[in-house]
Structure 1
Amino acid sequence: MTLLNDILDLSKIEAGKLDIAPIADDFRHRMKRTESFYRPKADEKGLFLRVIVDKSVPSILEFDPVRFRQCIDNLVSNALKFTAEGGVIVAVTSEPGETPDHLRLRIHVSDTGIGMDEAQIALLFENFQQADRSTTRNFGGTGLGLAITRKLAQMMGGDVSVVSKPGKGSIFTLSFNVGVPEAAKAGASAELGADQDSEPKARDNRVVDFHGKTALIVDDNRINRRVARLFVEPVGLRVIEASSGAQALDLLEKERIDLVLLDIHMPQMDGPETLKHIRQMGGACETLPVIALTADAMAGDRERYLRLGMSDYVSKPIDERQLITVLSRCLAEAHSESAPHPTGEESEALGEIDSFLQRLSA
C-alpha cells in the first residue's frame, strides 16, 4: 500500500492534480505525535530520539497536516533506518514569512547514521533512486520517499536540502511556509494542546479550522465507521455515528452537524435516498456538506454522485490524505458561503544541531 500510494502521489504531482489543503491545526501536537510514534522504533534499535520545537513556533498554524506528516515521516523513518548507533534529533525553528500572517518553518532531522558522499547526494531526490545498490539490498525501499518529500515541500513554498558525510551522519532540512491565525498573532498561548476559544473562521476558500465542528459518519458497517473516525478525530472533529439513513435523519434533527460522511450502499434507506431526505429538511441542511463514501470507483461515479447533490466523493478503502483534503475543501466552501472572510522570542537551544553541523564540516 505504501508503494502504491507513493506511485499514485508521484503521478498526481507530475500531472498537476495534487492539491495542498491547509487547515488550522496544532503543529506542536503533531510534532509530539511524531515523537510518540517513532520512539518505540528508536528504543528497539537502542537509539535516542529527541524532538525540539523552538519557542518562537506558535502552536496553532495553518498548514496541510496530511502532507506535512507525509514529509516528516519520510525524513524521520529514513534517519532511524540508516542509523545503527547514536540517534536522531528533530529540531524545528521559524523565521518571518513573506507577509505578516505567514511564517517559514525549518525542520532539521539529524542522524548519526551511515552518511553519504557528494555523488550519492546528487541522486538522492531523483525518482526511484537511492544512495546505491547496497542501500536497497541492506535497507529496502523504493527510492520514492525523498523525491515525493521534496516535491511536496516545493508545493508548500519550501524545499528539502541535505548535508552529509560518509560514516558521520546526515542532516536533512525541510522548509515550508505556514499561515499564522489571528489568535496566534495576538499572543495566544503556545503551550502544547492549548485550547482555542476563538470562533473557527475560514481564511480563504482552502483554510478552515476543524476544531469545534461535528462530523456525522453514516455507515451500516461498524468497522467502516471506526476507520473513518480514526482518520477524522485527530484533526479536531467531534464525531457522531449513525448505522442507518433513518438514524442519521433523526440525529440531524437533534444535533448541530457541520458535515456528513454518507455511505452509498446501505439496506432499507441507501445513501442517495438519505441525501434526498436531508436536502428536504430545509434550513442549513440544504447546503450541509455531504460527502459520499463508496467502493464505487469507476469513471463517472464521482460526477454521478455530484449530480445527485453530494458535495464531494471519497472512494473506499478510504485514503486518509484524500479524505482530509476533501473535508477541508467542503467545510471551507460551506463556511465561505455563510460567513464573511476576516481581514487581515527567543530561540530554543539547538547546540546539539550546531555541534553536529560542525562535525560534518570538519
Structure 2
Amino acid sequence: VRLVTPAAEQKGLILDVNIDDALPTTIRGDGLRLRQIILNLLGNATKFTLHGGITLRVRPISSESAGGAALLIEVEDTGIGVAPERRAAIFETFVQADATTAGRFGGTGLGLPISARLAELMGGRLVLDDADRQGSRFVLSLPLVACDEDEARIPIRATEAITTVNPLCPDMAGSPPRILVAEDHDVNQLLITAMLRQLGYEPSIAADGAKAIAMVKTARAEGQPYALVLMDIQMPVMDGPEATRRLRGEGISADELPIIALTANAYADDVSACLTAGMQAHLAKPVTLAGLDGMLSQWMRRASVAAPITSPRTVQPSARVRALYEVRKGEALQTLADMVKCGQFSDVELDHAAGMLHKLAGTAAMFGEATLGDAARALEDGITEWSSETRIDQIRSAIDTICKAA
C-alpha cells in the first residue's frame, strides 16, 4: 500500500485499508505473487481514478470450492470504471478497456491478464464485479490456509512460500552481515556505503548488474555469501531486473539472498516488474538512514556484533561526497543548457539527459535540494510521457524550472 500512497496523495485520493481482525497472523501462500497482484490492482486503481478514493479490503470467508475457507481481497475505486461491453475482455492478453485510456492516463492496465493467471496458479480467481457502480471493484479469492510461526520457519516446496511478517535471513555466524550494493552512480555509492557502515554492515559495490552476478557467485563459492543485495534498477551493461532473473535462474533463492530494488521512480508498474523479476521489496531513492535501517531489519536479523543504532538518525554527506555531487549536478545542468542553446532535442540527446536526470533525482534531496530532485524527476518522466505536439515546449519549460531550483 505504501508504494502507491504518494501517487494517491498527489491526486488528492483517499486510500482506505480495511483488514479483518479475524484473519490469522500467518498464512501459507506465494507471497511474491500475492504482492504482485495487489500492487497491480492498486496501481491501476490509482492511475485510472481522478477523484474520490480507493478501498482495499481483506477478509476471510467460507468457501466450499476452496475447501472450507478462502481469503478475499477486494480493490474498489471511484475511477473511470469499465464499460459493460468490455468487462469480459479485460482479462484477455493485450486487451484494454478503452483504446483511448493509455493516451489519457499514461498507462495500459495490461497487468490484469498476468494477475488473473497468477491467481489461477495459486488455486484462486480474480474477477471484476459486474454490478453497475461508479468505478471498478476487483475481487481476488484464494484458498486460506493458516499456519503458526514455527511452521512458517520450515522450508516448503519451491512452488510455495510463506507470507509472514518476519522474513527469514541467512545465519551471519557472528560477523557483520555483508551487503552488496549494485549501483552505478558514484555519489549514491558513497552515500549508501556510509549509511551501511553506520548501521553495522559490511558493504561492497558492484557498478552494474553483470558485476553484481559475478560478485554474488564468487562470494558464495568462497563460503562468504552476501546476506542481501541492494539492486539499482537502471544500470549500464545489465540492469537490475535482468541481473535478478539470472541470479534466480542460477538457483539462488530469495530465502538465501533477498534482493531489494533501488530506484528513483517508485511507480507501481516499475515495482511490479521488480517483484516479477524475483526481488522481494523496494526502497525509493533518495535513500534515508531510517528507511534503509527499517528495510534491512525487516529482511534480516542483525548479527550480535553489529553496532547499536545511535543518534544521529541521518547521515551528513562528507565534504568529498558533497563536492562530487556538485560536479555531477553541474554536468547535468550543462547538458540541459547545451540542448536548449543548440536546439538539439533528438532521441539520442534526450536519452542521455534522462540518464543524468535520473541520477540527480535520486540524490538531490540528500543534499538539501529536494525541489531540484523533484524537478529532475518530472523532466525525466516527461521525456517519455509528453505528447509529441507539445513535447519540446514542455521540455524547455521543465529545464527552466530545474535551473531555477538549482
TM-score, length of structure 1 as denominator length: 0.50
Q: RCO greater where, 1 or 2, for CA within 8 Å and sep 6 or more?
A: 1
